[in-house]
Amino acid sequence: MLARMEWLNYHHLLYFWMTARHGSMAKASAELRLAPPTLSSQIRQLEASLGEALFVREGRRLVLTDVGRVVQGYAEEIFSRGREMLDVVKQRGGPAGLTLAVGVSDALPKLVAWRLLQPALALGREVRVVCRDGRHDRLLAELALHELDVVLSDAPAAGGLHARAFTHLLGECGVSFFAERARAGRLKGRFPRGLDKAPFVAPADGTALRHSLDAWFERHGVRPRIIGEIEDSALLNTFGQAGAGVFAAPSVVEREVMRQYQVRVIGRTGDVRERYYAISAQRRVKHPAVVAMTEAARSTIFDRAPAG
């Protein structure tokens, strides 16, 4: 005879999970539209089936027991995977449009972000892109809550707090140096020596690109005159366009920078490398728009970047 299987009542687990999230039977009851006695009864049935208490009451507060915290962790995983399943099914079903919620790290040049997102808009079906710009760590927190489908960044996800985030390298490229036309004409043929004492609009201190550029200047024995340190890449490029000084940008968007800001290239280097990543909550990327982005980045976008 087959052994009797023990079944978990997922409705009861959902009621427990909602109560644990809110820390209050009354708040969970209001969201679930259940009477508090009904909700309490359902959670007691779950505790009876598990043979363990999940909550203890401290004054007017409900506090999770040690077992309750373990069950909460599993419940979070179960219902997160359920939401993920629904998202995947909806994305694959029929000709309806897709929604892509993407976080763009504030350190990622916006022209690079646009290049990476373009393949998502060329899928052959309607895609609505919702972009959120912000700090790398904040975007990873939103990714963990499934509020974002992917995060585009110039840095991988660290371990520890973001152990459930998976980093996918999209590609890398060198760096090009630009100046407005008059200054570019004076510096033509003098790269990199011409950068010595030249006004330079630098990325913000502490960024990966700034660290790499400082090391590269040191190796070549040049000391540009830093006239500004700017975090936002678009604003940095605008300073360069206005003639404030030479500036650097990823070679993968060299043509876009020249066209949009009416500047010229004075030199390139492959020794300073910029790397770009897609970070997802799944080890294997499933969203069709994210798949299109990663495939295009690896097969065409970075292969065509000018060499140093």
Q: Within this chain, do residues 166 and 126 fall inside the same structural domain, yes or no?
A: yes
Claim to verify: residue 136 and residue 282 sit in the same structural domain: yes
How far is residue 197's CA from residue 180's CA, in Å, rounded to a whole number? 17
Write the DSSP symbol of residue 301: I
**Residue 92, phi then psi, degrees to nearest 5:** -90, -10
Q: 204 in a domain, yes or no? A: yes
Task: Verify cis geometry, omega within 30 degrees of 0, for the bond prior to 192.
Answer: yes
CATH of the domain at 64: 1.10.10.10
The one-letter code for the residue type at 282 is Q
Give a yes or no: residue 284 inside a domain: yes
- Those residues whose C-beta lies under 8 Å from the C-beta of residue 262, and which sit 6 or more positions away, are 180, 181, 241
State pLDDT tens for residues 107-154: 899 999 999 999 998 887 788 899 999 888 888 888 877 889 999 999
CA distances from 285 to 14, 68, 295 (A): 27, 32, 11
What contacts 68, CB < 8 A, 6 or more positions away?
20, 53, 54, 55
Domain extent, residue 22, equals 10-89
Whether residue 234 is contained in a domain is answered as: yes
Q: Do 197 and 52 share a domain, yes or no?
A: no
For residue 4, being part of any structural domain is answered with: no
pLDDT tens for 173-185 read: 999 999 999 999 9
pLDDT at 4 over 50: no
Q: Which of 57, 89, 121 is the last residue of a domain?
A: 89
Q: Token pair of 22, please?
A: 């809110």
167 in helix, strand or coil? strand
The answer on pLDDT for 26 being more than 80 is yes
